[in-house]
Chains A and B, each alone.
Chain A
Amino acid sequence: MIMKSEPATLETAQRYERLLASVTDYVYTVTVDGSAPVSTVHGPGCEPVTGYTPDEFRADQALWFRMICEEDRVIVLNQVERILKGETPSPLEHRIIHKNGSVRWIRNTTVPRKDTQGRLVAYDGLVYDITERKEAEERLRQANAELAANAQALKRTLEELKETQLQLIQAARLESVGTLAAGVAHEVKNPLQTILMGLDYLVPNLPAVNENVAMVLADMREAVMRANTILRGLLQLSAQADFDMKLDDLNDSARRALQLVSAQLIAAKIGVVRKLDPHLPRVKIDRGKIEQVFINLFINALQAMSPGGVLTVSTYVGQFGENPKVNEAGFRQFTRGQSVVIAQVQDTGTGISAANLPKIFDPFFTTKPAGVGTGLGLSVAKKIMDLHGAAIDIQNAPEGGVKASLIFQDQPG
């Protein structure tokens, strides 16, 4: 029996070791006198969780506190305080430093023990090791954060793709319109010439049968001129980068363009406010082409306003994406925050409806009455800006009316 008992004892000891290793919770008891803890006894399960034996805890009564992660000590003390006051606080999850130096998460549930008078004499604490769960939670949190970041990046990429696609469609559209225009223009101009010369002949020769004759001839001449204006717009759309680019003063271009439409502005009773930065850096432009962009914007503003309206033309150095605020995805040539030279044309008209806003750069898109606009003004303006490597952004201004921004690279030096 004795011979047999030795291996049996060993086996028991080994089983105990294995059991101990697999224990992830233990109980401790704190004895209280009055409202102060006097001693703490840690149950045998404390070793696998904390690395310290019950004896070590008994020998060093402050060990339990030092074992707590510094950042978590306050919440643990709060819990102790509440128990000592006779409350039953909810379980607390905090970190401890294991004897081997690793950080462990534990869940600490305390239960007060009271005497017959209801005075607190001790409390028991049940400690669960929840490290694995916490680590899994953390991994999940990180995975979630990563997923969210990926989703955000995907969303951004998708938006950029959509924007690029729109630009490509726009570019392809403009190109096909341009190619067609160049071919058609020549064929159409000759018949226009014949009609115009015919009118020049008829005006002095057609007997004035009635007063309408002169009016009809004038209407016909007007129609020829309008057709020719459309052709010119189309040819400008098809024009390639045959630009004479020089460092030039954007303020000068704005002023000259204002001069050219001044008669129309006066006739329409539109006031003009100039806010031109006198220290504006020069930008690389074809001044004639940029004047045309200004004129097209001025004409649009003019036609959008009733008498008494105000056209504001301003220039300044801004930071791309911030001042002015634009949908950056549409403008790859700029990076957020970079210094840009801005010319802004703002009116006090009725603004552009949300439905029309995406179409404003489409050739032949117009909201003006028949015969007033060709629907090419903004298409041409955009084409010219594109060929400059610059950008045009058109939005409804928060204060009403439309704000068109021409955005140029701030040339270094």
Chain B
Amino acid sequence: MNAEKKRILVVDDEAGITRLLKLNLEQLGDYLVRTENDASAALAAAEEFQPDLILLDVVMPGIDGGKLASHFQASPKLKKVPIVFLTAAATKEEVYARGGRIGGLPFLAKPVELSEVVACLKQHLGG
């Protein structure tokens, strides 16, 4: 059963957000979610967890999401894993204006509803 579930890694320094994303997504039954609040530990966590998709905060203490994304993309184990930014640093208008991408990667603007997160996951997980 678990093998069919999509593995999602959520990296955000806000523990409330990661905890609730995990609860919400796992409640839907289609996802297995691992959360990471420490950006510096995210690469190791990702390599170990082998996610199908990474939801990544942008502004975090220590290392920002943009840099972290390039580390993920540089890792042979992770380079094919789609990354979706989840950021408070942009508005929905900016998401729209930039065609939904930042630095070539898709992104969601906080605050975002669960339905939007799920729609985005489905789109980038490729079925």
Q: A194-B17, A197-B114, A204-B27 are in contact. List 16 more A-B contacts (CB 8 A).
A: A185-B88, A190-B14, A190-B110, A192-B111, A193-B111, A193-B112, A194-B14, A195-B111, A196-B113, A197-B16, A197-B20, A200-B20, A201-B23, A201-B27, A205-B27, A231-B91
In the complex, whether A224 has a CB less than 8 A from a CB of chain B is: yes
B interface residues, tally (CB under 8 Å): 20
Asked if A193 contacts B27 (CB within 8 A), the reply is: no
Q: Can you name the residue of chain B whose Cβ is closest to the Cβ of A205?
A: B27
11 contacts between A and B (CB under 8 A): A189-B110, A190-B17, A193-B112, A195-B111, A196-B111, A197-B21, A197-B24, A198-B20, A200-B113, A204-B27, A228-B111
Complex formed: what's the CA distance from A196 to B109 in Å?
A: 13
Contacts of B24 in A (CB 8 A): 197, 200-201
Known: A185-B88, A186-B88, A235-B91. A194 touches B114 (CB 8 A): no
In the complex, whether B1 has a CB less than 8 A from a CB of chain A is: no
Chain A residues 334 to 367 lying within 8 A of chain B, measured CB to CB, are: none
Chain A residues 182 to 223 lying within 8 A of chain B, measured CB to CB, are: 185-186, 189-198, 200-201, 204-205
Contacts of A228 in B (CB 8 A): 111
A interface residues, tally (CB under 8 Å): 23
Contacts of A204 in B (CB 8 A): 27
Helix, strand, loop or mixed for chain A's interface? helix
Q: What residues make up the interface of B, taking CB atoms closer than 8 Å to A?
A: 14, 16-17, 20-21, 23-24, 27, 59, 88-89, 91-93, 97, 110-114
In the complex, whether A288 has a CB less than 8 A from a CB of chain B is: yes
Q: What residues make up the interface of A, taking CB atoms closer than 8 Å to B?
A: 185-186, 189-198, 200-201, 204-205, 224, 228, 231-232, 235-236, 288
Complex formed: what's the CA distance from A44 to B91 in Å?
A: 100
A206 to B: closest C-beta gap in Å: 13
Asked if A193 contacts B93 (CB within 8 A), the reply is: no
Complex formed: what's the CA distance from A288 to B20 in Å?
A: 35
B26 to A: closest C-beta gap in Å: 10
Complex formed: what's the CA distance from A184 to B61 in Å?
A: 17
Identify the 10 closest CB pairs spanning chains A and B, nearest first: A197-B20, A189-B88, A200-B114, A194-B16, A192-B111, A193-B110, A193-B111, A189-B110, A196-B111, A186-B88
Complex formed: what's the CA distance from A228 to B112 in Å?
A: 10
